[in-house]
Amino acid sequence: MIYHGSRFTFRPDVPPGRRTTALDSLRDQGRTVPSVTSFLVGRDAGGAYEWGAVFVVEDLAGYRAFLTHPASRYADRIVRPMLDASISFDLTDDPDPKAAARIDEVRRHVLGTPAPSRRTVLKAVAAGTAAAATGVAAPAAAPAAAQAYGVAPGASVEVSMTVNGRLRRVAVEPRVTLLDALRERLGLTGTKKGCDRGECGACTVLADGERVKSCLTLAVMRQGAEITTVEGLARGEELHPVQEAFIRNDAFQCGACTPGQIMSAVACVDEGHAGSEAEIREWMSGNLCRCAAYQNIVAAIADAAREVRR
């Protein structure tokens, strides 16, 4: 699996409308390119940049197809002239230590850019196997402020986040997802690992008030963010209105998807997207329930929305 990412800040003179167009072009890139298995475009909580984007492809062939697809080239043409500062990186969980070099070779061959002098090969060891990753400087067409994403081989990065109202610090490898940081490092196992590909929504959490699929965002991209997991909804013995509504409406069966459903439901209500059954279904479409308890889930969200409006 190859994670192609970028973090960037718009030039101050770029108006909101053009920024929206740029971000939409990145999202269209993720939706349109067949080799992209999942993607995320959202606010970057690291502090130095405004936005972050991560596209996940299966292998080198898919990565090449991603780079050469018209949607990718269109997004580059739209976004790059608007940037004030940017960073580009490629990470892979391939245990072959030569994988990073092959990714770099594909990038240089497809984009026609020289080998970046500041490129740093990231190596991390987990469970006795080496996982190679590479940080690559943005192509020459990028602004002069672009820089390489580099971490010393085998090093970890300390990430500070406010999780459920409590400041937490955790040392992670750059390739660790927010989902794994929450579950494996912080012991918050309420957030579930379902498909681990961004398709089922079981891993949904709130990041700075916005719902995100935590398996698709790297922990290092959430530096300084305020994260809320399902464990953080209740206030002592008092459940959140959405949690109470799920219980009243029997909106779960096996429960595997329930934490993600509840977190998305909280956002759905807060965003004002619970005005009708059709609207709820549309805005909850990123969360799957293998037990098909959708009717009860929709009823629970509508119930919670009425309760919140009182």
Question: What is the residue range of 47's domain?
Answer: 2-148
> How many C-beta atoms lie closer than 10 Å to residue 117's C-beta?
7
Closest CA to 85 of 143, 150, 18: 143
Alpha-carbon span 158 to 156, nearest angstrom: 7
Predicted local confidence at residue 120, as pLDDT:
32
Query: Given this model, what pLDDT does residue 48 score?
Result: 73
Average pLDDT of the chain?
82
- State residue 154's pLDDT score: 55
**Does residue 264 contact residue 194 with C-beta atoms inside 8 Å?**
no
Evaluate whether 103 touches 164 at the Cβ level (below 8 Å): no
Q: Are the C-beta atoms of residues 52 and 83 closer than 8 Å to each other?
A: no
Domain boundary among 148, 165, 193: 148
pTM greater than the 0.85 cutoff = no
Contact status, residue 118 vs residue 30, Cβ threshold 8 Å: no
pLDDT, tens digit, 9 for 90 and up, residues 116-143: 332 332 332 222 222 223 333 333 333 3
Final residue before a domain boundary, out of 180, 207, 232: 232
CB 256 within 8 A of CB 297: no
Q: Which two tokens stand for residue 266?
A: 């909280």
Clarify whether residues 214 and 290 are in a common domain: no
Say yes or no: 266 and 167 in one domain.
no
Q: How many domains does the chain have?
A: 3
Rounded to an integer, what distance in angstroms lies between the CA atom of residue 193 and that of residue 275? 30
Residues 163 and 127 both lie in one domain = no
* pLDDT tens readout for residues 2-19: 888 888 999 999 998 899
The alpha helices in the chain, defined as continuous H runs, are 16-32, 60-68, 70-79, 99-111, 178-180, 241-248, 258-270, 277-283, 294-309
Do 164 and 144 fall into the same domain?
Answer: no
d(CA 49, CA 15): 17
H-state helical runs in 51-139: 60-68, 70-79, 99-111
Q: Both 52 and 172 in a single domain? A: no
CA geometry: angle 18, 217, 196, nearest 5 deg: 130
DSSP H or E segment with residue 207:
strand 204-207
Query: Which of 148, 166, 193 is at the close of a domain?
Result: 148
pLDDT of the residue at 66? 92
pLDDT at 262: 97
Q: Which CATH number belongs to the domain containing residue 164 in this structure? A: 3.10.20.30
Q: What is the pLDDT along the chain (310 residues), one digit of tens a residue?
A: 888 888 899 999 999 889 999 999 999 999 899 999 888 888 876 667 888 888 999 889 999 999 999 988 888 889 989 998 888 888 887 777 778 788 888 887 877 653 333 233 233 222 222 222 333 333 333 333 333 344 455 567 788 899 999 999 988 888 889 999 999 999 999 999 999 989 999 999 999 889 999 999 888 888 888 999 999 999 988 999 999 999 999 999 999 999 999 999 999 999 999 999 999 999 999 999 999 999 999 999 999 999 888 6
Whether 240 and 233 have beta carbons less than 8 Å apart is answered as yes
Q: Are residues 295 and 168 in the same domain?
A: no
